Amino acid sequence: MADQPLVGIIMGSTSDWETMRHAADVLDALGVLHETKVVSAHRTPRRLVDYAESAAGRGLKVVIAGAGGAAHLPGMAASMTRLPVLGVPVESKALSGMDSLLSIVQMPAGIPVGTLAIGRAGAVNAGLMAAAILAVSDDALAARLDTWRAAQTDSVAIDPQ
């Protein structure tokens, strides 16, 4: 279907949106349909189960999950779907996102989460990586991604001042 979201962006709280919107922005720029939802591993566990268990069947191809602090959302989502899950550690106030990073990256063997950088860079790169995954089987998207990357290269000034 033409309006079928291919990427699901989930986050533990509305407070994560300021970070996770960068993943959505990248997907918008690349013309990748996506949906955004607040799904908390701790505050809305049943919503998480419903989301993860239905994700593949609803036509999603990649899940991007962002959370901060005791960031169990990406790993728990990955435990309930075979879709690739990209984890974004949101920068926390108390520990600057180190808690989020370590919570997401140290998955046990058998349930992978592709963990990105803390904060905005991680969200941007999660969007780009989701697009790259989809581009493996979508030539038009691959061309758009190549164009996006070339524009980024062209935008880098050689003069530092």
Rounded-to-integer distance, Cα 103 and Cα 86, Å: 13
Q: CB 132 → ligand RP5: shortest distance, Å? A: 25
Q: Is 96 in the site for ligand RP5 (CB under 6 A)?
A: no
Per CB under 6 A, the list member of 7, 9, 10, 12 interacting with ligand RP5 is: 12
Closest C-alpha to 71, from 7, 15, 33: 15
By CB under 6 A, which span of 11-19, 75-83, 104-112, 127-135 interacts with ligand RP5? 11-19
Alpha helical stretches, state H, 80-154: 98-105, 120-135, 139-154
- Contact call for residues 134 and 61 (beta carbons, < 8 A): yes
Q: Is 69 in the site for ligand RP5 (CB under 6 A)?
A: yes
Q: Is 126 in the site for ligand RP5 (CB under 6 A)?
A: no
Per CB under 6 A, the list member of 15, 96, 106, 147 interacting with ligand RP5 is: 15
Per CB under 6 A, the list member of 62, 67, 133, 145 interacting with ligand RP5 is: 67
Nearer to ligand RP5 (CB atom), residue 113 or residue 141: 113
Question: Does residue 13 have a known ligand-binding role?
Answer: yes
Rounded-to-integer distance, Cα 113 and Cα 99, Å: 16
Question: Does residue 43 have a known ligand-binding role?
Answer: yes
By CB under 6 A, which span of 44-52, 65-73, 122-130, 140-148 interacts with ligand RP5? 65-73
Helix (H) or strand (E) holding 20: helix 17-29
Question: Does residue 146 have a known ligand-binding role?
Answer: no
CA Rg value for the chain: 16
Q: Name the strands in the sheet holding 85-90, side by side, starting at the edge strand that comes first in the sequence.
A: 34-38, 7-11, 62-68, 85-90, 114-115
Per CB under 6 A, the list member of 6, 7, 9, 13 interacting with ligand RP5 is: 13
